[in-house]
Homo-oligomer: A and B are copies of this chain.
Amino acid sequence: MRTALPSRLENLVRAEFEDTCRRRFFFGLAFDPYGGSAGLYDLGPPLCAMKANLLSYWRQHFVLEENMCEVDTTSLTPEEVFKASGHVVRFNDAMVRDTVTGECIRADKLLEEYSETRLKDATLPIETKQEMQTLRNRAAGMTPAEMKAVIEHYQVKSPKGNALSEPFPFNLMFSTSIGPEGDRVGYMRPELAQGIILNFKRLLDSGNAQRMPFAGACIGTAFRNEIAPRANLIRVREFTLAEIEHFVNPNDKSHEKFESVRGTEFWAWSRELQDANADPVLMTVGDAVAKKIIDNETLGYFIARTVLFLEAVGLRFLRFRQHQRDEMAHYAQDCWDAELLTSYGWVECVGIADRSAYDLTQHSAASKKDLFAREEFAEPRIERQLQRKLQKGAIGKAFGKNAGEVMEYLNTAPEATCVALGEKLASGSVEITTANGFTATIKPEMVQFEFKEVKVTGRNYIPSVIEPSFGVGRILYALLEQSYWVRRDESAKNEKRAVFSMRPVIAPQKVAVLPLLVKPELLRVVEEIRGDMVLRGISTRTDDSGASIGKKYARVDELGIPFCVTCDFETDGCVTLRERDSARQVRIPREAVADVVAELSRPLRPREWSSVETEFPAQSTAA
Interface residue ranges, A against B (CB under 8 Å) = 23-25, 28, 30-34, 37-38, 40-45, 47-49, 51-52, 56, 59-60, 64-65, 67, 69-78, 80-81, 95, 102, 104, 170, 174-181, 186, 188, 195, 198-199, 201-203, 206-207, 209, 220-221, 223, 225, 227, 237-238, 363-364, 366-367, 369, 371, 534-537, 539, 542, 545, 603-605
Contact = CB atoms under 8 A, between A and B. Distances in A.
A467 B65 CA distance: 38
A587 to B, nearest CB: 27
Contacts of A34: 78, 80-81, 198, 366-367
A220 B48 CA distance: 12
Q: Main secondary structure on chain A at its contact with chain B?
A: mixed
B180 A31 contact: no
A596 B177 CA distance: 52
B237 A78 contact: no
A427 B67 CA distance: 86
Contact of A199 (B44, B180, B199): B44
B367 A65 contact: no
Given A33-B367, A179-B38, A537-B604, A44 B206 contact: yes
A206 B534 contact: no
A69 B81 contact: no
A441 to B, nearest CB: 36
A28 B205 CA distance: 13
Contacts of A170: 180
Given A25-B207, A78-B37, A69 B45 contact: yes
Given A76-B40, A174-B177, A207-B25, A604 B238 contact: no
Contacts of A56: 56
A410 to B, nearest CB: 26
B71 A225 contact: no
B42 A195 contact: yes
A499 to B, nearest CB: 18
Contact of A225 (B41, B77, B180, B237): B180
Contacts of A238: 74-76
A31 B75 contact: no
A60 B70 CA distance: 22
Given A38-B179, A207-B44, A545-B209, A78 B202 contact: no
Contacts of A186: 37, 174
Contacts of A364: 33
Contact of A32 (B43, B198, B227): B198
A601 to B, nearest CB: 13
A77 B227 contact: no
Given A75-B238, A174-B177, 11 more contacts: A31-B78, A32-B199, A32-B201, A42-B72, A52-B59, A56-B56, A64-B537, A76-B188, A174-B186, A179-B225, A180-B225
Nearest to A540: B64
6 residue pairs, one from A and one from B, having the closest CB atoms:
A25-B206, A104-B180, A43-B72, A33-B367, A33-B369, A174-B176
Contacts of A176: 174-176, 188
A33 B371 contact: yes
Contacts of A47: 72
A44 B73 CA distance: 9
A536 B31 contact: no
Given A175-B176, A225-B180, A74 B104 contact: no
Nearest to A73: B42
Given A30-B195, A71-B44, A198-B31, A206 B24 contact: yes
A72 B236 CA distance: 14
A421 B498 CA distance: 55
Contacts of A48: 70-72
A33 B198 contact: yes
Contacts of A237: 76, 178
Contacts of A41: 74
A56 B219 CA distance: 15
Nearest to A181: B104
Given A31-B77, A81-B34, A179-B38, A44 B537 contact: no
A535 B604 contact: yes
5 contacts: A23-B206, A42-B71, A45-B207, A48-B72, A64-B539
